Amino acid sequence: MKRTPARWSLTLVVVAVLAVVNSPLAVSPAAAKTIRTPFDNYNVNCVIHSQTMWVEDGILHIRNRVMSGVVESDGPYHQGAGRMVANANIDLATMHGNYWGTLEIHPTAYPEGHWAGSFSMQVTEGKAGGNARLQGYGSLDGLASKADLLPLMPDQLADRANLCDGNQPISGAHAVGFVMEPDSE
């Protein structure tokens, strides 16, 4: 059987991928240690500043929903003001959907720094969750933050009305994760 150049290329790609996947970790260079500081946050959105919404084929589309609020945290890295630009596609029959966008956090303890990054969440039958990945800037430069997200239910939001000057919060998420700091040694 004669092999064509395309078939040889495909074979070489498969062999290269298998070699990378199966290579022992022991021969990789030593990675720098990272200090991980765990956190437990409640990101609460208090005000919608602007948004675009429409319904098409039973799906609610939300684009560029700009919100501001507060991050309540068990540590100083995130406690402070938050700003979010969110998007969503929500099936109105099931209320399942996808949520994604960008997030900024301006911690009170680090007035010369802030976090910026992205988040995504999915709500399906029996399951809701997502993640957020943020980079530190200014006095937080060099730090990174990773978190798993769970949307806050209406009763959980009502419990945090004090964060929104007594008003019912618009939305929010419980974020559990860690701040990563490169080892200084």
In which region does residue 58 sit, left (phi positive, over 0), alpha (psi from -120 to 50) or beta (all else)? left
In CATH terms, the superfamily for domain 34-182 is: SO1590-like (2.40.350.10)
When pLDDT is cut at 50, 70 and 90, the band that residue 72 belongs to is very high
**pLDDT surpasses 80 at 25:** no
* 31 Cβ contact partners less than 8 Å away, ≥ 6 residues apart: none
pLDDT at 23 over 90: no
Instruction: Mark residue 5 as left, alpha or beta (left: phi above 0; alpha: psi -120 to 50; beta: remaining).
Output: alpha
Residue 10 has pLDDT above 50, yes or no: no
Task: Give the pairing of strands 59-73 and 127-138.
Answer: unpaired
- The per-residue DSSP string of 107-174 comes to ETT-TTEEEEEEEEEEEETTEEEEEEEEEEEETTTT-EEEEEEEEPPHHHHHTTGGGGTTSPPSEEEE
pLDDT score at 15 = 37
Measured distance CA(83)–CA(93) in Å, rounded: 29
User: 127, 177, 118: which is closest to 151 by C-alpha?
Assistant: 127
Percent of the chain with pLDDT over 70: 82
Domain ranges of the chain: 34-182
User: For the whole model, what pTM was predicted?
Assistant: 0.78
Confidence category of residue 13, pLDDT binned at 50, 70, 90? very low
